[in-house]
Amino acid sequence: MRIRPYISSKDYEYVSRWIDNERTHAFWCANLLPYPMTQKSFHDLLEKNAMDWTDSAYVATENSGQAIGFFCYSVNTADNIGFLKFVIVDKTKRGKGYGKEMLNLALQYAFQITGVKAVQLNVFNENTLAKQCYEKVGFVERKIDKDVFAYKDELWSRGNMIISKQSF
């Protein structure tokens, strides 16, 4: 597996196929995008986050070049902590170690190339499979905001997880 910058004209078709129901969509983007998302809405959000937070978008590919994962990454230079967002893996690859491998590559990049001391992310507690994947990589929960997101008739809690360079 490799990671490379997201190429909008090439990679959107893959990412959009991995989000095929409203619940997965809400888990993934906290409804910051309308469902179903469009190429324009997705790229507008990526551009906004690049301008506001210096986010960069990446895809994970198999050695053949086939996109199998996506994430955004930024660095808060004030506290030297990286932030992962919009993490998702091809739905046909979930539960097979691809997410863990992609996160390990993202963390290698974060620690070795961008030089951060830690990386954090947010995940809904109800997204148990994603949370378990993050824990397997070494992320630990440091804060939970209870009932902060409404999805249909449910209230979801959001956990903030972190991994330090020393524990990676």
pTM of the model: 0.96
For 75-84, what is each residue's pLDDT tens digit?
Answer: 999 999 999 9
Torsion angles phi and psi, residue 141, rounded to 5: -75, 135
How confident is residue 101, by pLDDT bands cut at 50, 70 and 90? very high
144 lies in a domain?
Answer: no
Tell me, yes or no, whether 124 lies in a domain: no
Residues 6+ apart with CB under 8 A from 132: none
18: domain range?
Answer: 2-117
Q: What is the CATH number of the domain that holds 27?
A: 3.40.630.30
Q: Residue 157 — pLDDT band, cuts 50, 70, 90?
A: very high
Per-residue pLDDT band for 158 (boundaries 50, 70, 90) equals very high
Domain assignment present for residue 137? The answer is no
State how many domains the chain has: 1
* Residue 123 falls inside a structural domain: no
Average pLDDT taken over every residue of the chain: 97
